[in-house]
Amino acid sequence: MATSAAPASGTTPLPVLVGKSEIKPTWCPGCGDFGVIAAIEMALKRLKIPPYNIVLVSGIGCSSNLPHFLNTYGFHGIHGRSLPVAEGIRWANHELNVIVTGGDGDGFGIGAGHFVHAMRRNVKLTYVTMDNEVYGLTTGQASPTTMMGAKTKSTPSGVIEHPLNPIALAIASGATYVARGFSGDVKQMADLIAGAIQHQGFAFVDAFSPCVTYNKLNTFDWFRQRVYKLDSAGHDPTDINQAFARAQEWGDKLPTGLFYKTDRPTYEDLEEVLQAGPAVKQPAGLVGKESILDEFL
């Protein structure tokens, strides 16, 4: 993992490990997002990454409030645009650990295009989605992952659209680390997130994170009756065909764990400018601009 220089001597000491901020979570009591933030905090403490070397980025939604609640750097962006913001931060200073958090509406609805392109670029980011199969912040409309037939505020007669499959989409789009956790199993999710942060490439962790207020179908009990762990089922995460097959499972059996992992060069590895080091540490201005302009005169 990347590290930044420690604060200069004589300055106010900064926290050594990630912890809660002074802002208290605003989620409904029992929300699955409490499990996700606990898993992220556990993973960061285990990896001993200092808070000043972490940037949490989010869009809009209940889950996207998460950067407010940990004592790291954070950027709360607009709806669906968390990934391009995170890419910009990463390319400006790719010594930082950039973690993106959001929900299924933010990431797979308005942000779907950014989701696909960030994965095919294999930017080194960790993207954690709190997938509750509903728009929670706007009080219960159907989201891209809502199950067919589900009755919501926006679909009183039942959803007629096929739900998006984020795991299969991630594998097909080029993500090099694809996993799924469940808020009811914080330890497993912390393991997956820690692995995602350490991975050299785009790491996606989709978290089943029940909305206790607006989704009365996909509840904690509903998931507990269905989830099983891939590592106990003999799954090989290096086999893309197995990963696709597991990604299609939905219904009585819902796999959690690491679906797919592979290694290939990141965007940062291949971008010539970034090979000279983080942009923030490079000289300001365009070096050799006279010779470049001469080519066009």
Per residue in 125-151, pLDDT (tens digit) is 999 999 999 999 999 999 999 999 999
Measure CA 244 to chain center. Answer: 20
Sign of CA dihedral 271, 275, 278, 284: negative
Confidence of residue 296 (pLDDT cuts 50, 70, 90): confident
CA distance 25 to 33: 10
Q: What is the pLDDT of residue 277?
A: 84
Query: Percent of the chain beyond pLDDT 90?
Result: 85
Position 284 confidence tier, pLDDT thresholds 50, 70, 90: confident
Average pLDDT, stretch 274-297? Answer: 72
The whole-number average pLDDT for the span 175-195 is 98
Whether residue 291 has pLDDT greater than 80: no
Residue that wins the pLDDT comparison between 215 and 275: 215
In the chain, the percentage of residues whose pLDDT exceeds 70 is 91
- Does some domain include residue 23? no
The reported pLDDT for the residue numbered 2 is 37
Residue 75 has pLDDT above 90, yes or no: yes
Whether 9 maps to a domain, the answer reads no
pLDDT at 25: 95
Cα distances from 271 to residues 90, 94, 267, 279, in angstroms, run 12, 12, 6, 11
What the block records as the tokens of 131 is 């997938």
Confidence of residue 38 (pLDDT cuts 50, 70, 90): very high
Instruction: Examine residue 245 and state whether it is found in any structural domain, yes or no.
Output: yes
pLDDT of 123 reads: 96
The pLDDT of residue 1 is 37
Instruction: Output the domain CATH number for residue 256.
Output: 3.40.50.970
Q: What stretches of 21-151 show up as alpha helix (H) in DSSP?
A: 33-47, 82-92, 104-105, 112-121
In this predicted model, which residue has the larger pLDDT, 75 or 274? 75
288 in a structural domain = yes
CA distance 63 to 67: 9
pLDDT (mean) for 56-75: 96
**118: confidence class by pLDDT, cuts 50, 70, 90:** very high
Mean pLDDT value across residues 263-288: 83
Q: What is the pLDDT of residue 293?
A: 64
Alpha-carbon span 143 to 185, nearest angstrom: 24
Helix (H) or strand (E) holding 207: strand 203-208
Give the mean pLDDT of the chain: 92
Exposed, middle or buried: residue 49 (CB in 10 Å: 0-12, 13-18, 19+)?
Answer: buried
**For residue 27, what pLDDT band results from cuts at 50, 70 and 90?**
very high
Residue 274 binned pLDDT confidence (cut-offs 50, 70, 90): confident
Which residues does residue 101 pair with via DSSP β-bridges, in sequence order?
Answer: 58, 128
Decide if pLDDT at 10 tops 60: no
Average pLDDT on 237-251 reads 97
Res. 5: pLDDT tops 50: no
From the CB of residue 184, how many other CB atoms can be counted at a distance below 10 Å?
18
Q: Report if residue 259 sits inside a domain.
A: yes
Bridge pairing between strands 254-261 and 227-229:
parallel
Quick check: is 263 in a domain? yes
- What is the span of the domain harbouring residue 140? 33-294
The CA-based dihedral angle spanning residues 266, 272, 277, 283, taken in that order and rounded to the nearest 10 degrees: -150
Q: Find out whether 70 and 219 touch, Cβ atoms under 8 Å.
A: no
Question: Is residue 26 included in any domain, yes or no?
Answer: no
Is residue 11 assigned to a domain? Answer: no
pLDDT at 278: 86
**Average pLDDT, integer, range 214-234:** 96
- Total domains in the chain come to 1
Alpha helices in 123-225 (DSSP H): 166-173, 186-198, 220-224
| Distance in angstroms (rounded) separating the CA atoms of residues 57 and 69 | 12
